[in-house]
């Protein structure tokens, strides 16, 4: 709603957030880096007077360095200042779930999580989360303070967590929050070519959306579309229904920039998939072309 996926439309964003609240959605996820704070401010404004009705999650960690490049800062002093800034922008006294957006390779995870745990003791944060870390890092962090949620990319086209962090999450009782559950729009069936990506849309730099790869991946999406047609649904609904079927401890957070996306995604709750359907869909990941990130962004991800 603030950057990354083409131009922002604040009026539509507010209307979509209002519609989500009316539909019963209560889990809202943002980050200080989204729109350089704009997204937290937007969400705080919409939730004013309704803060206690929702479960609010935000993330910290990404910053710009002295050369104008993006890096991760997980130093204890940064943890404290980032939280204070997020609380101010969100217009709240407490954050329900506070994530480290990516691990700082120069700071021991125990130090970062220790500072995050202090925020819990101070009543500024209720639960702690990590994002895109390895199973080893999750275990080390959990020895300092319980990690309520691990946010990782997980979808029909990105199955990495199944063989890396998900088993450890289940041992620890940590919920897996699946971001980009629709493959950044690829699994919706609505994206038909690179021409549909606006200038500035960062998917233009992602290997799965590159010429040659995109066409092959869209051929896989056609399987989703065919199944959706048989079930009187959409490709997005089938993709989300598959993810919901992977376990009650997996919470998908599809990006919903417009009201139409919101209504489409909610329709996943009525899609019934048979064991045969699930097996058929699960095979799609074997033929996906291109990595989920470009080399620059992969630098920040432990759980590759």
Exposure b/e, 146-175, CB count within 10 A at least 16 = b: ebbbbbbbbbbbbbbbeebbbebbeebebb
Residue 29: how many other CB atoms lie within 10 Å:
22
The structure tokens 């579309």 sit at 225
Distances 4 to 199, 203, 267, 272 between C-alpha atoms, Å: 10, 8, 25, 33
Pick the catalytic residue from 5, 34, 98, 127.
Answer: 34
Distances 51 to 43, 57, 68, 233 between C-alpha atoms, Å: 10, 12, 35, 33
Sign of the alpha-carbon dihedral angle for 227, 232, 235, 238: negative
Report d(CA 133, CA 151) in Å as an integer. Answer: 9
Report d(CA 169, CA 130) in Å as an integer. Answer: 11
* Residue 34 bears catalytic tag: yes
Report d(CA 61, CA 16) in Å as an integer. Answer: 27
3-state secondary structure 31-57: CCCHHHHHHHHHHHHHHCCCHHHCEEE
Polymer length in residues for the chain = 304
Centroid of chain to Cα 103: 16
Distances 87 to 11, 94, 281 between C-alpha atoms, Å: 23, 7, 41
Residues recognised as catalytic: 34
């Amino acid at each position: 709603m603030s950057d990354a996926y083409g131009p922002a439309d604040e009026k539509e964003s507010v209307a979509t957030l209002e519609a989500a609240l009316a539909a019963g959605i209560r889990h809202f996820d943002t980050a200080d880096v989204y729109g350089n704070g704009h997204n937290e401010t937007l969400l705080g404004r919409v939730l004013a007077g309704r803060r206690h009705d929702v479960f609010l999650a935000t993330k910290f960690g990404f910053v710009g360095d002295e050369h104008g490049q993006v890096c991760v800062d997980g130093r204890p002093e940064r943890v404290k200042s980032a939280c204070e800034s997020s609380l101010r922008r969100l217009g709240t006294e407490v954050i329900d779930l506070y994530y480290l957006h990516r691990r700082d390779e120069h700071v021991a995870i125990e130090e970062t999580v220790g500072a995050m745990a202090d925020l819990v003791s101070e009543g500024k944060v209720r639960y702690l989360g990590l994002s895109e870390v390895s199973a080893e890092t999750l275990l080390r962090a959990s020895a300092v303070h319980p990690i309520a949620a691990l946010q990782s990319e997980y979808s029909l086209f990105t199955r990495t967590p199944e063989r890396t962090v998900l088993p450890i999450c289940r041992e620890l009782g940590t919920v897996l929050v699946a971001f980009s559950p629709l493959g950044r729009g690829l699994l919706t069936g609505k994206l038909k070519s690179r021409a549909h990506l606006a200038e500035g849309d960062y998917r233009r730099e992602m290997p799965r959306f590159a010429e040659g790869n995109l066409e092959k991946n869209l051929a896989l999406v056609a399987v989703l579309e065919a199944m959706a047609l048989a079930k009187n649904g959409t490709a997005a609904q089938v993709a989300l229904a598959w993810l919901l079927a992977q376990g009650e401890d997996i919470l998908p957070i599809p990006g919903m920039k417009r009201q139409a996306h919101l209504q489409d995604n909610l329709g996943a709750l009525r899609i019934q998939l048979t064991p045969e359907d699930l097996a058929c869909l699960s095979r799609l990941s074997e033929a996906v072309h291109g990595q989920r990130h470009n080399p620059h962004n992969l630098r920040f991800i432990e759980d590759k």
